[in-house]
């Protein structure tokens, strides 16, 4: 397939999803302070691979809010560094996208303004990332950081969609897809509250005794778990309705299949975390699926109009 300038919009969307996934891996592996400074990593462009490459008192030198830096861990440092590299690639992609949309601003004004908003939010997200590091991973800032990432995903999705042909006229499905999208955002917000509680509990137990983490959560967890049934039911109805119309299904088959996959894997990963002591691998998978669900629902909502 030949590469054209239009592909940059899809590349940006893919990079947003990868950055969300990378951020979740950073969090699940406790690698958020793998680079205790920003935008450099231990004052370097390319991070070190061993503590021998650092000053003798590096923990005091790179302290945040009076809290000494964690002991050097090459794996955690490079996980965080790769996360930042993906963020930098996203920034470059968004910048290129804004430049391309500027040249066609009269032909595609919505794409132009969406690209400018995306550029602003990406810069804002970078600044938020610096605040997260400087605050030594304050939980509420991590939550804000993640919710902004999902907002960026939706705007990138919108910008990439603007050249598509006319949409299907179906007021009921238009309404239901937006309701499902709003409920999914609420579910993600509930999930971030659960995750904040797990982070606090895990830190207090030195990331040991995983088998008691779920049992010591507040009532937010059963609400989050029960709310998933509503999410599954509503999305199941949306998928069934699209499937009954061949004219609609042939247009939405890609987001519909991705939505089905995202819902299935997200549900299974949630069950595994609940009953198998919150394995670290399941956490980024769970969040990655949430981003796929949001992308798919948003794309479905744009395929139909009222």
The mean pLDDT value for 204-211 works out to 85
For residue 54, count CB atoms less than 10 angstroms from its CB and return exposed for 0-12, middle for 13-18, buried for 19 or more. Answer: middle
- The sign of the CA dihedral 144, 75, 28, 213 is negative
What is the predicted pLDDT for the residue at 238?
93
For residue 157, count CB atoms less than 10 angstroms from its CB and return exposed for 0-12, middle for 13-18, buried for 19 or more. Answer: buried
User: Quick count: other Cβ atoms within 10 Å of Cβ 172?
Assistant: 10
Domain boundary among 111, 132, 163: 163
Cα dihedral 159, 163, 165, 170 in deg (nearest 10): 20
- pLDDT tens sequence across 80-137: 999 989 988 999 999 999 998 888 888 888 888 989 999 999 888 888 877 776 666 6
Domain boundary among 129, 146, 163: 163
Residue 245 sits in a domain whose CATH number is 1.20.120
Instruction: Output 2 or 253, whichever has higher pLDDT.
Output: 253
Number of domains comprising the chain: 2
pTM score, whole prediction: 0.84
Q: Is the domain of 128 the same as that of 216?
A: no
Q: Is the domain of 11 the same as that of 144?
A: yes
Q: Which residue's entry shows tokens 């499902």?
A: 180
Domain boundary among 105, 128, 163: 163
Please, what is the angle between helix 246-275 and helix 220-243, to 10°?
A: 160
Q: Is the domain of 177 the same as that of 138?
A: no
Identify the domain containing residue 279 by its residue range.
167-306
Q: Is the domain of 116 the same as that of 224?
A: no
Coil/strand/helix, residue 245: coil
Q: What is the mean pLDDT of the chain?
A: 86
Q: Is the domain of 113 the same as that of 2?
A: yes
The mean pLDDT value for 201-226 works out to 88
Q: Is the domain of 48 the same as that of 86?
A: yes
Q: Is the domain of 145 the same as that of 16?
A: yes
Q: Is the domain of 12 the same as that of 133?
A: yes
Q: Which residue's entry shows tokens 């290129």?
A: 96
Beta strands in 94-221 (DSSP E): 168-169
Q: Is the domain of 124 the same as that of 40?
A: yes
């Amino acid at each position: 397939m030949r590469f054209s300038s239009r592909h940059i919009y899809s590349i940006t969307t893919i990079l947003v999803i990868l950055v969300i996934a990378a951020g979740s891996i950073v969090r699940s592996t406790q690698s958020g302070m793998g680079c205790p400074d920003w935008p450099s990593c231990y004052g370097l462009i390319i991070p070190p691979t061993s503590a021998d490459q650092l000053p003798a008192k590096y923990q005091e030198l790179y302290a945040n809010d009076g809290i000494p830096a964690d002991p050097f861990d090459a794996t955690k440092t490079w996980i965080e560094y790769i996360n930042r590299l993906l963020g930098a690639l996203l920034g470059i992609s968004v910048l290129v996208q804004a430049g391309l949309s500027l040249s066609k601003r009269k032909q595609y004004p919505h794409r132009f303004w969406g690209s400018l908003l995306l550029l602003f939010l990406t810069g804002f997200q970078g600044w938020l990332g610096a605040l997260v590091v400087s605050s030594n991973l304050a939980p509420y800032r991590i939550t804000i950081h993640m919710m902004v990432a999902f907002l960026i995903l939706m705007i990138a999705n919108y910008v990439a969609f603007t050249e598509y042909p006319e949409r299907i006229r179906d007021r009921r499905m238009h309404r239901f897809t937006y309701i499902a999208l709003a409920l999914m955002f609420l579910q993600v917000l509930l999930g971030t509250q659960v995750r904040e509680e797990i982070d606090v509990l895990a830190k207090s137990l030195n990331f040991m005794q995983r088998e008691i983490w779920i049992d010591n959560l507040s009532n937010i967890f059963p609400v989050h778990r029960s709310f998933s049934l509503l999410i599954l039911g509503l999305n199941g109805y949306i998928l069934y309705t699209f499937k009954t119309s061949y004219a609609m299904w042939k247009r939405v088959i890609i987001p519909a299949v991705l939505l089905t996959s995202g819902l299935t894997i997200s549900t299974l990963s949630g069950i595994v975390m609940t009953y198998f002591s919150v394995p670290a691998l399941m956490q980024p998978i769970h969040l990655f699926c949430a981003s796929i669900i949001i992308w798919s629902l948003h794309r479905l909502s744009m395929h139909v109009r009222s």
